[in-house]
Amino acid sequence: MNSFEVTQNFRDDFRKTEVPKYYLGRLHCLFNFGLLISTIIGLAYLIVSPTLFELGMIPLTLVLGNFAVFIIHKFPLHQRSGLFPYPYKVHSNWHHNFYTYDHLIYDGPKDFFILFFPAWVVLAFVTLFLPAIFFGLRGILGLNATYLLMLMSAFYFVLYETVHFTCHLPEKHLVLKFPPLKFMWKFHRIHHHPKHMHSHNFGIVYPLCDYLFGTVYKESSVEKI
């Protein structure tokens, strides 16, 4: 049995045992993107005549977002923890066995269950994490800067979900004609190689922290499975 067949068997079993019968992949996407985008729009209406300092929250959040994804991806999602085993189970055991180096593409909307963040994570992000930013930083940064930080955090989440989705499209897909997305598709595919998934190419939107921390693995160096 080749690696493609092994993955397909895992997918068949996973769909039967883990994906609820009522699950609708397109509704999952609509909820995630709808909640995040409506949050961005709502925050944008609250920002009034931002100063240069306040606009500085935009590049700052793009860097901090990349760092946060790198740390979360590298550690709780790829290193076992007795205290928090669930993130490793979902990501390393489920996502990486469902989507492999040789079988990276989803088969249909049902497979979005293990491709996009669970809806409850997005809901918690909007209802718990963003308010924590607001109450924690408004007295330090001011309202405009805090709203911009919240807006850009939600925007980075949208970028994450979007780019990660394109990384699981067929290699010849039209959107992958766009060079940055094609680069990240190849970059992310290497991350799904079993020899490199725990050590290399953790970035999703762009690989800034991978270059900073020396965790980049180039396509030309990937071994055959």
What DSSP letter does each residue of 182-208 carry, written as one string? HHHHHHHHHHTSTTTTTTS---SS--H
Predicted confidence band of residue 84 (pLDDT cuts 50, 70, 90) = confident
pLDDT of residue 82: 83
Predicted confidence band of residue 2 (pLDDT cuts 50, 70, 90) = confident
pLDDT of residue 215: 98
- How many Cα atoms within 13 Å fall on the side-chain side of residue 35? 19
- From the list 160, 166, 159, 145, the residue with the least C-alpha distance to 202 is 160
Query: What confidence tens digit (pLDDT) does each residue in 153-198 have?
Result: 999 999 999 999 999 999 999 999 999 999 999 999 999 999 999 9
Query: What confidence tens digit (pLDDT) does each residue in 46-79 have?
Result: 999 999 999 999 999 999 999 999 999 999 999 9
Q: In this structure, what DSSP letter does residue 100 have?
A: B
pLDDT of residue 104: 97
Show me where the domains of the chain are located: 3-221
